């Protein structure tokens, strides 16, 4: 069954004009909705401005509205909209109560809540739990997040769907003049914020210092910036390997693609990653990944196939795996080829779009068959 003509879909997001996994997920959903036949799309963002949204999504066919961090106007805009049979896609669990109120007031007919990762790995208050139960679906990016959230919040697992992230459909041409440092360049792309110390950067620095003594020419290339950069630079200095760690700061899109292309390994041994879209960016270039054996990462990195999983803090296992991949060209080549195949099979935009459009059409069909209440 196809969607009714001009069915309204409202996308409610925290922000979309900046970079990050959540923002990328929201952009891909907006692209999918714009290509879905018979839909009229409205996107509202709490933290973005109208101009920033238009710049970030220039091809959007529906309306874009940014509230520039004005929470009161954002909430009132959602609650005071005219009665409609719109379905809302709620881009963060913290917005679920507002969507529930909008449904009760008749502003929307039903809604889907997206669970990204860490924010869903806890028991929420009664209002959020009620809003989750009233959603027609809670969509998680990994099975780990779906199962943990369902268990902690008492929501049936059957009320959850899993739709992983995907990378951008089109990427800039890599800068021909940009290349990472080192004969064995390790790459991490992350925000260097003090709130994100769980990424495992110190673990990589420790490993580079040990590999230096073993004669393995590993060089740690860090892309990103934040308030924790100075501490990490000092940590590398204290470990005696500052010359083997390059902090590139933020790169242009073209330079970033060149960084992925010239990396030998992508490393982010995080202890609580919700998904890690940066792994996909590396895999599409055939770059094997080493990630933490925690959270949603094991659903992205296939241990021993597209990369290696290590326990957070296990520096010696990390060192052993890097040494093995440096010295074993056949194993590395197999992993590189597997990365591109798994990416093509599971994490492209077309796969993502197909999963989401099927979910929306199924839910709207059920809503039509069951009346306005789902």
- Give the pairing type, strands 289-292 and 265-268: parallel
Q: Is 145 exposed, middle or buried (0-12, 13-18, 19+ CB in 10 A)?
A: buried
Q: How far is CA 274 from CA 148, 176, 258, 296, 344, in A?
A: 12, 33, 26, 5, 21
pLDDT of residue 372: 44
| pLDDT tens by residue, the chain, 374 residues | 344 455 789 999 999 998 888 999 999 999 999 998 888 999 999 999 999 999 998 888 889 999 999 999 999 999 998 878 889 999 999 999 999 999 999 999 999 999 999 999 999 999 999 999 999 999 999 999 999 999 999 999 999 999 999 988 888 899 999 999 999 999 999 999 998 899 999 999 999 999 999 999 999 999 999 999 999 999 999 999 999 999 999 999 999 999 999 999 999 999 999 998 999 999 999 999 999 999 999 999 999 999 999 999 999 999 999 999 999 999 999 999 999 999 999 999 999 999 999 998 887 666 554 544 43
Cα separation of 277 and 283, whole Å?
Answer: 10
Tell me the domains of the chain and their CATH numbers: 7-168+348-370 (3.40.50.2000), 184-346 (3.40.50.2000)
SS3 call for 268? strand
Cα separation of 189 and 286, whole Å?
Answer: 16
Q: How many helices (H) and strands (E) does the chain have?
A: 13, 13
pLDDT of residue 187: 98
pLDDT of residue 366: 65
């Amino acid at each position: 069954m196809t969607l009714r003509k001009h069915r309204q879909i409202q996308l409610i997001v925290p922000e979309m004009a900046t970079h990050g996994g959540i923002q990328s997920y929201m952009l891909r959903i907006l692209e999918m909705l714009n290509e879905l036949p018979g839909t009229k799309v409205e996107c509202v963002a709490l933290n973005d401005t109208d101009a920033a949204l238009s710049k970030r999504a220039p091809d959007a066919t529906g309306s874009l509205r940014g509230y520039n961090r004005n929470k009161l106007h954002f909430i009132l805009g959602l609650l005071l909209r005219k009665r409609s049979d719109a379905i809302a896609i709620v881009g963060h669990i913290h917005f679920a109560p507002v969507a529930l109120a909008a449904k009760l007031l008749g502003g929307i007919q039903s809604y889907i809540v997206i669970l990204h990762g860490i924010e869903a790995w806890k028991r929420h208050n009664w209002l959020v739990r009620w809003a989750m139960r009233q959603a027609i679906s809670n969509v998680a990016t990994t099975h780990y997040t779906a199962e943990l959230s369902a268990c902690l919040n008492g929501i049936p697992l059957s009320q959850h769907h899993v739709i992983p992230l995907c990378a951008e459909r089109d990427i800039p041409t890599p800068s021909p003049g940009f290349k990472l440092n080192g004969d064995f360049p390790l790459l991490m792309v992350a925000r260097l914020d003090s709130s994100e110390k769980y990424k495992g950067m110190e673990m990589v620095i420790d490993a580079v210092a040990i590999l230096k003594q073993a004669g393995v020419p590993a060089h740690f290339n860090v892309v990103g910036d934040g308030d924790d950069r100075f501490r990490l630079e000092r940590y590398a200095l204290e470990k005696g390997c500052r010359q083997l760690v390059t902090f590139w700061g933020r790169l242009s899109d073209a330079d970033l693609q060149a960084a992925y292309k010239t990396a030998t390994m992508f490393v982010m041994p995080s202890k609580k990653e919700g998904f890690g879209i940066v792994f996909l960016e590396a895999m599409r270039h055939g770059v094997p990944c080493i990630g933490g054996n925690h959270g949603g990462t094991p659903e992205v990195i296939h241990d021993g196939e597209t990369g290696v999983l290590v326990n957070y803090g296990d520096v010696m296992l990390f060192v052993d795996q890097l040494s093995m991949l440096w010295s074993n060209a056949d194993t590395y080549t197999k992993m590189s080829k597997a990365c591109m195949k798994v990416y093509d099979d599971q994490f492209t935009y077309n796969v993502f779009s197909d999963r989401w459009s099927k979910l929306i059409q199924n839910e709207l069909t059920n809503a039509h068959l069951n009346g306005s209440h789902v």
